[in-house]
A and B are shown apart, each in its own frame.
Chain A
Amino acid sequence: MTSLFEQVKGSIVTADSETLETLIPLFRAKHSIDEMFQGVVYPALDTLCHRLQERTLAIPDLLMGLKAVHLLLEKTKAHGFSPMRDRCIVLGVIEGDTHDMGKNIIRDLYTGYGYRVVDLGKNVSIETFTERAVAENADVVGISTMMSTTLTRVKEAVASLKRARPTIKVMTGGAFLNAKISADIHADGYAESAATLMANTELLFS
């Protein structure tokens, strides 16, 4: 018989929100929030990312899976729960760019994996990135852009963040960027895809 852990995880991976809603009270009656993250959310996100990398899952399916994770965290009030990882990520799309789907996927993945996430939204100024990163004592700032016309601003944002706090880690992501450009603008890391996000993030601290 499939365990409750497997059933909840399965309903997330298949984005079956109806089943998920039925299972949540049953699960919470028996298990703690910590067990939920360790036994359900992390494995479900790992599966989604693995399937994305293996090309057996597409972006719409990933979005629906992340929506299911969001539903689980909302229903269990786990959004307010102290994160598993004592790290803060500040995210945003740089000023001049409004493509935020990639950034939102990254936000939902970080949230699901238990990071404290501060989402600054899109079209975010360099000043806002810097002020909020310092105010939130961020460990990592993720700057996203899909355009070449905004690359100069990304570079300036990296420099501004490093001036404000030299130890802060800055990660970039977006269609136009790659590892070389990220290195050229002195970012600490590059998030190539959702599938490799966690590995790329851990590299920042290795």
Chain B
Amino acid sequence: MNQLTSMERVLLTLKGEETDRVPVCSLAVGVSRGVTGVGFPQFSRDSQAAAESMILANQIVGDDVILCFTDLSVEAADFGQEMVYPEHSTAHPNYERALIKEPQDYLTLQSFSPASGERMGAYLDLCSILVNRVGHHTPVLGFVYGPLGVLGMMRGMEGLYRDIVDHPEEVKVALEVITTVLEAFVLEQFHRGVAGVCIDTLPASRSGVSPSQWEAFEGVYVKRISDVINRCGILNAHHGCGFSPYFKEVKKWIDPSVYSFADVPEDCRNFEEAKRRYGKEATLMGCVSTELLYSGSPAEVIRQCVEQIDLLGRNGRFILAPTCEFPPNGNLLNARAMVIAAEMAASGTMDTSWVGAA
């Protein structure tokens, strides 16, 4: 069935050429810890344990891209934000002890070398292990949380969103420092051999700020990060899992080669228009519901995947993926179902009328 390696399949897809099947990126990250039996805290901080989990999960699932990602707390932790590492859930800030308690605290953030940070350093080690072990046949995609997201982890999103209106200059001082560190962070990822870097800009959607606020408070900063990625000559990818994502503004500032998304873009009426407008020059990546991946059966997942391939995969330039990270406590069998769906679509065995018939 599979005639190409994952690397070949993904590269051909990015170039808009024909492949044996649609590539799959299951985004099965946190859930992968289950295949080796490690807990969330170890998965977040132990590069070797995380790498073994992700590699084995990739082998079990058979998907085509490994997203090098543990959780969203990596960058903020190294700026000094205290984190909580629950045994049964993903790491998160201790907002009772937020690093930025009041607007003046935005002015106190200090730049540092990412490789010297405990979490970012461990993340870079993870990049190295993954690239060295599987990077020759499976693309390893680096990751960076956008500056507004990182700042939100230190202030709380609610406080940050208010400060954008009430204290914009202080917020921008902090964003400047964070961006400098993130530029160095993606450069270090490049040096570890990642095939590309995905920038996550959750606020670039109706789940975040307005389009003009996003341009002023994140677009201008993520452009600098994407410039570093482009100068390195690696894949410039974007992820935004918010409602009604701002593709037009994201294209203006980042112009990504890959859009990973969860909802119809703000300037489009439906997915078909998104494909027409953005899927000719760039590759679209999505949009299997994480809710379904969590609560649905493999058969239901296959049906939705086949629908997505039919909708967004026409004329290539499409990677089948969840709308966001695969549910960390979900069933990995549903990630495998995504690959099965891609194979079914390629072989023409796309009749899913049997799904739910029992």
Interface centre among A15, A60, A181 (most CB of B within 10 A): A60
Binds A, one of B74-82, B155-163, B274-282: B155-163
Assess whether B165 is in contact with A148, with CB atoms less than 8 Å apart.
no
Which B residues touch A97, using CB under 8 A?
89
B266 sits at the interface (CB 8 A): yes
Assess whether A58 is in contact with B206, with CB atoms less than 8 Å apart.
yes
Minimal beta-carbon separation of A32 from chain B (angstroms): 31
Binds A, one of B124-132, B178-186, B207-215: B207-215
Assess whether A63 is in contact with B328, with CB atoms less than 8 Å apart.
no
Minimal beta-carbon separation of B299 from chain A (angstroms): 16
Binds A, one of B231-239, B289-297, B310-318, B335-343: B289-297
Q: Beta-carbon contacts of A159-203 to B below 8 Å, as 1s and 0s? A: 000000000000000011110110010000000000000000000
A38 sits at the interface (CB 8 A): no
Minimal beta-carbon separation of B289 from chain A (angstroms): 8
Tell me which of B164, B266, B327 contacts A60 (CB under 8 A): B164
A59 sits at the interface (CB 8 A): yes
Tell me which of A15, A59, A151, A176 contacts B161 (CB under 8 A): A59
B330 sits at the interface (CB 8 A): yes
**Given known contacts A148-B294, A151-B294, A184-B295, A60 and B88 CB-to-CB distance under 8 angstroms:** no
Minimal beta-carbon separation of A98 from chain B (angstroms): 6
Minimal beta-carbon separation of B133 from chain A (angstroms): 28
Assess whether B291 is in contact with A180, with CB atoms less than 8 Å apart.
yes
Task: Please report the C-alpha to C-alpha distance between residue A152 and residue B327 in the assembled complex, in whole angstroms.
Answer: 13
A82 sits at the interface (CB 8 A): no
Which A residues touch B166, using CB under 8 A?
64
Interface size class of B (residues with CB under 8 A): 20 to 34
Interface centre among B84, B89, B327, B330 (most CB of A within 10 A): B89
Shortest Cβ distance from A104 into B: residue:
B158
Which B residues touch A7, using CB under 8 A?
none
Which B residues touch A101, using CB under 8 A?
156-158, 161
Minimal beta-carbon separation of B247 from chain A (angstroms): 14
**Given known contacts A100-B158, A176-B290, A178-B291, A60 and B86 CB-to-CB distance under 8 angstroms:** no
A83 sits at the interface (CB 8 A): no
**Given known contacts A148-B327, A176-B290, A96 and B86 CB-to-CB distance under 8 angstroms:** yes
A147 sits at the interface (CB 8 A): yes
Which B residues touch A181, using CB under 8 A?
291, 295
Assess whether A67 is in contact with B162, with CB atoms less than 8 Å apart.
yes
Tell me which of B89, B158, B244, B295 contacts A147 (CB under 8 A): B89
Which A residues touch B290, using CB under 8 A?
148, 176
Tell me which of B84, B162, B295 contacts A64 (CB under 8 A): B162
B85 sits at the interface (CB 8 A): no
Task: Please report the C-alpha to C-alpha distance between residue A96 and residue B164 in the assembled complex, in whole angstroms.
Answer: 28
A137 sits at the interface (CB 8 A): no
10 closest pairs, A vs B, by CB? A58-B210, A148-B327, A60-B161, A101-B158, A149-B89, A149-B329, A148-B294, A101-B157, A96-B89, A64-B165
Given A58-B206, A60-B210, A184-B295, 9 other A-B residues pairs in contact with their CB atoms under 8 A: A58-B213, A60-B161, A63-B158, A96-B88, A98-B92, A104-B158, A149-B90, A149-B329, A152-B329
Query: Residues of B at under 8 Å CB distance from A?
Result: 84, 86, 88-90, 92-93, 95, 156-158, 161-162, 164-166, 206-210, 213, 244, 266, 290-291, 294-295, 327-330
Query: Residues of A at under 8 Å CB distance from B?
Result: 15, 55, 57-61, 63-64, 67, 96-98, 100-101, 104, 147-152, 175-178, 180-181, 184
Can you pick out 19 interface pairs between chain A and chain B where the beta carbons lie within 8 Å of each other?
A58-B206, A58-B209, A59-B161, A59-B208, A60-B164, A60-B209, A60-B213, A63-B158, A63-B162, A96-B88, A97-B89, A100-B158, A101-B156, A148-B330, A149-B88, A152-B329, A175-B207, A181-B295, A184-B295
